[in-house]
Amino acid sequence: MYKIFKYECIRLLRNRFFIGILLILLFYGGQVLDNATIFGTAHTAPFSPWSFGEYLTRILPLLWIGTLFFLTFFTSSAARRTAVLTEASPVSPRCYALYRCAAALTGIGILAVFSCAEAAVFYYSYFRWHNWENLLAPALVTLAPSLMFALGSGWLLGQIRPWLVYLWMALPLLWTTLPLPEFLSIWNGRFFSRFPLFLETLDPPFMVPGSVLAAQGFFLVSGILCLLAAPWVKLRRS
């Protein structure tokens, strides 16, 4: 079983697209840090959880698109043709799909870690600030639900129609331009740039309202449920 996971990880991480999206992500992240994050957000320090969270929301569309591109390696027409061989192996199709999801999740995790590490290096280089544990909460609240939802919903859509994955990549264009309600404002960054202004203290500690936490929890659970439902949808279509 481990060999299957290792093979899928190697196939994914050695792909030229993975290197390309990583380089693009690091370049864009550097531009955001140098030209936006360095000034802070909502009158907070550049290395505050609020400024870091705003940085994450700016690079989230690239992470979303990268996640869905990873899935095209497994939902494309070529992958479906090779599925005839994999389904003839002793490993059940559901287990094989699980290992592929784990490989995609590994790739997503690597992109997210590199993005956070770039910010950590930036903070230390410019401000000699290294209290990186303060950045864990905004990273988990922002990235974990969003990327899990991207993985789960993308995988489910890919089982229905492979081209739906490409269409789903356009979703960041909507959430960055539409006036989302407050409980969804973490997706377009308005939560990090506006909510601290309503708090009475200067450079307030990081806190998340219950409505925002509930919305993020909904997306996290929805992503997991989509992953569980995808094999069933594939079996129904076969």
Segment 106-139, tens digit of pLDDT: 989 999 999 999 999 999 999 999 899 999 999 9
Segment 138-185, tens digit of pLDDT: 999 999 999 999 999 998 998 888 889 999 999 988 888 888 888 999
- How far is it, in rounded angstroms, from Cα 28 to Cα 37? 12
Check residue 225 and give its pLDDT. 92
Residue 29: which of 134, 149, 126, 112 has the closest Cα?
112
- How far is it, in rounded angstroms, from Cα 128 to Cα 79? 47
Fill in the amino acid letter for 43. Answer: H
Domain interval for residue 53: 2-237
Residue 223: which of 153, 165, 172 has the closest Cα?
153
Domain count, the chain: 1
Check residue 54 and give its pLDDT. 95
CA 226 from centroid of its chain's CA atoms: 15
CB 169 within 8 A of CB 68: yes
Number of residues that make up the chain: 238
What is the average per-residue pLDDT within 58-80? Answer: 81
Q: What is the DSSP string of 194-234?
A: HGGGGSSSSSPPP---HHHHHHHHHHHHHHHHHHHHHHHHH
